[in-house]
């Protein structure tokens, strides 16, 4: 009897060892299935623009106090801005981050100016940004009201264009002030020239109409030259 019990226990242990790998395999499969189901399949942010094999994907964040309704890119070699990257009434609202797709102009990285239009119709330009080498672009407004960019490139280096935009803004304001001063100086010189011409015309009119008259509005008094008698050479008497 004792021997039979030992054999039964041995068989139960062998059966348990045979079933153990099946249980572990089931557990592993279940965990793997859960991991696959939790994997993200969509972009983290709303996308703007058209995705393609050549388009560059860029995260753009609006850290200004206005909604961005226009986003146009100008290459340094072009004279006009390209097609708008925000169309059909789309916008980047304050505090929002979107994924923006844009087509580069060539195979080599280029410097771009980015023209922004806000919902109040005001505009700003970000200068000299190499969009091909960026992974994140944050659009900001300084305390002085200067729109600038903070961005991170593919090497992980962070940049800030505030100093550059302030310098460009100061140059533009100085040029505008110089043009205004020149216009004011030209207007003043023109006014002085007109005043001098008017004074000269008035003086000429005054001198040309002035004459001496005898009392009662008669004819003008004869001059001393008209009263003197004519003297002829034959009338001269020479005394020796």
Coil, helix or strand at residue 64 = coil
- Kindly state the helix (H) or strand (E) to which residue 56 belongs, with its residue range: strand 56-62
Supply the pLDDT for residue 94. 92
* Tokens of residue 32, six digits: 């793997």
Please report the domains of the chain, with CATH numbers, ordered by start residue.
46-161 (2.60.40.2890)
Instruction: Give me the tens of pLDDT residue by residue for the chain, a chain 240 residues long.
Output: 545 445 545 555 545 545 444 443 443 333 334 434 444 434 456 777 777 888 888 899 999 999 999 888 887 666 666 667 777 778 899 999 998 888 877 767 788 889 999 999 999 999 988 888 888 999 999 988 899 999 888 888 898 999 988 888 889 888 888 988 999 899 989 898 888 888 888 888 776 655 555 555 555 555 554 555 555 455 555 454
CA distance 228 to 223: 9
Supply the pLDDT for residue 64. 95
Residue 21: count of CB within 10 angstroms of its CB:
9
Reported pTM: 0.57
Give me the residues paired with residue 129 across strands: 112
Supply the pLDDT for residue 3. 52
CA distance 55 to 136: 15
Supply the pLDDT for residue 29. 37
Among 39, 82, 65, smallest CA distance to 147 is for 65
Supply the pLDDT for residue 72. 87
List of E strands, 84-228: 97-102, 112-118, 123-129, 134-141, 147-153, 158-160
Supply the pLDDT for residue 26. 40
> How would you classify residue 160: left for phi > 0, otherwise alpha for psi between -120 and 50, otherwise beta?
beta
């Amino acid at each position: 009897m004792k021997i039979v019990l030992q054999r039964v226990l041995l068989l139960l242990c062998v059966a348990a060892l045979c079933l153990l790998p099946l249980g572990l395999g089931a557990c592993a499969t279940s965990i793997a299935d859960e991991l696959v189901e939790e994997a993200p399949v969509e972009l983290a942010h709303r996308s703007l623009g058209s995705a393609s094999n050549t388009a560059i994907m860029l995260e753009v964040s609006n850290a200004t106090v206005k909604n961005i309704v226009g986003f146009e890119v100008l290459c340094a070699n072009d004279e006009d801005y390209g097609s708008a990257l925000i169309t059909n009434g789309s916008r980047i609202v304050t505090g929002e981050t979107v994924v923006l797709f844009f087509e580069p102009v060539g195979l080599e990285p280029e410097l771009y100016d980015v023209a922004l239009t806000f919902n109040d119709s005001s505009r700003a330009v970000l200068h000299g940004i190499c969009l091909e080498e960026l992974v994140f672009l944050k659009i900001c407004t300084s305390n002085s009201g200067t729109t600038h960019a903070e961005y991170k490139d593919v090497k992980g280096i962070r940049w800030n264009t505030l100093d550059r935009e302030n310098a460009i803004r100061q140059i533009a304001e100085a040029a505008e002030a110089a043009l205004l001063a020149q216009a004011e100086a030209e207007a003043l010189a023109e006014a002085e020239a007109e005043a001098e011409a008017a004074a000269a015309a008035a003086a000429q009119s005054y001198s040309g109409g002035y004459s001496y008259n005898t009392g009662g509005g008669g004819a003008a008094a004869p001059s001393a030259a008209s009263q003197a008698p004519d003297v002829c050479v034959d009338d001269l008497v020479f005394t020796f």
